[in-house]
Amino acid sequence: MKDYCPERSVKERIKGGLKRGLKELDDEICEAIRRYEEGEIGLEQYLKLRVELELKRIRIVMENLRRLSKAR
């Protein structure tokens, strides 16, 4: 029989909420790394792309935090 722990389920929901939308972003970052390693893009272009993606990550996390804080 599986134990029910409400704190754990809340914790898992919060983690899931924070991670919402980040999988696609992680895939884009991996793609940028692959393109740079294979020489498809130069260092300057890679760095610009990475900065854009990291800023996008920050925006997504902040949106998720706002959404979670409103849910309380």
For residue range 44-60, list pLDDT tens digits in order. Answer: 999 999 999 999 999 98
pLDDT at position 68 over 60: yes
Region 6-22 average pLDDT? 74
* CA 56/CA 25 separation, integer angstroms: 8
Binned at pLDDT 50, 70 and 90, residue 9 comes out as confident
Is the pTM higher than 0.75?
Answer: no
Nearest C-alpha neighbor of 56 from the set 35, 34, 28: 28
Exposure class string for 13-36: b at 16+ Cβ within 10 A, else e:
eeeeeeeeeeeebeebbeebeeeb
Which is higher by pLDDT, 8 or 62?
62
Region 7-35 average pLDDT? 83
